[in-house]
Structure 1
Amino acid sequence: MYYLPYNKNLKQFSRYLRNNSTLSEVLLWNEIKARKIKGYQFNRQKPLNNYIVDFYCKQLNLVIEVDGSSHYHGDAPIRDAQRQTILESMGLNFLRFDDMDVKKNINSVIQIIYEFIEEYEALNSPS
């Protein structure tokens, strides 16, 4: 993977977002921080290009987004899709979860992340 552009102007805002996380972001973070999932390191509220993603794992080229109710109104779905398309064009993979799924079905969310990792490892392991 090539170098991902970093917008240093987003650093302060990403810090603000980390300090003001939603409940579902905190719940998911508690499950994936400190290399808890197969030893992979995740960052939260990570600036990538001109965006800030909820969670990012460099080793897996993986972005995880948690979508609350604001992501389903107005032009937010269109903006989210455009943003995802741009980041995917840079070689990133996406997993997107609904806020309520994280709150009510965290085990299912973690299982989906594990399944992604297993598939990623199978496709990217040296033969």
Structure 2
Amino acid sequence: MSYSDNLFYGASPLIHKRARELRRKLTPAERVLWNLLRKKALEGFKFRRQHPIRNFIADFYCHSNKLVIELDGSIHDEVSQSEYDKGRTEELKELGITVIRFRNEEVFETTEDVLKRISKYLTP
């Protein structure tokens, strides 16, 4: 298994293509958080945005800590989306990946708290 296989957990070319498209269309909340995470700005940890993992695209991923950060808008309040999110989180857990979720509003209104909560999952 190569480094890239491990990094992407066998994500298909189609998932990679979709991730590239999503990187060009970040939501406002994703853009705010990305500006705070990019270029190792949070405690020197490297994050990737719209990162392919197996059949999924994580909003943000820190490979060194196997941490996925997901930002949720109002669609995630719908029962079907909520169930999908739970199943996805379980599948990622099986890969040894931790998933933390934030509401879009949290990113805008309590940015420092969001960064502190993320930091709790980061270990050198």
Runs of 5+ unmatched residues, structure 1: 122-127
Normalised by the length of structure 2, the TM-score is 0.90
Give deviations 1:20-44, integer Å, cap 9, x for gaps: 1111000000000000112111000
Deviation at 1:11, TM superposition (A): 1.6
Q: 1:38 aligns with which of 19, 34, 43?
A: 43
The equivalent position to 1:52 in structure 2, one of 49, 57, 65, is 57
Give distance in 2, aligned partners of 1:74 and 1:92.
24
Q: Tell me if 1:24 matches 2:29.
A: yes
1:77 CA displacement: 0.1
Note the residue ranges of structure 2 that are not aligned, 5 or more in a row.
Answer: none
The number of residues matched between the two structures is 118
User: Equivalent residue for 2:98?
Assistant: 93
Tell whether 2:13 aligns with 1:8. Answer: yes
Amino acid in structure 2 at the alignment position of 1:97: F
Q: Moved runs in structure 1, 4+ residues, more than 6 A?
A: none
Is the contact made by 1:42 and 1:58 (CA closer than 8 Å) also made in structure 2?
yes
SS in 1 for 2:68: strand
Deviations 1:33-62 (A, max 9, x none): 000112111000011000101000110100
TM score, norm. by length of structure 1 = 0.88
Q: Counterparts of 2:10 and 2:18 in 1: how far apart (Å)?
A: 17
Q: Secondary structure, in 3 states, of the residue corresponding to 1:33?
A: helix
Tell me, what secondary structure is at the counterpart of 1:54?
A: strand
CA RMSD of aligned residues (A): 1.3
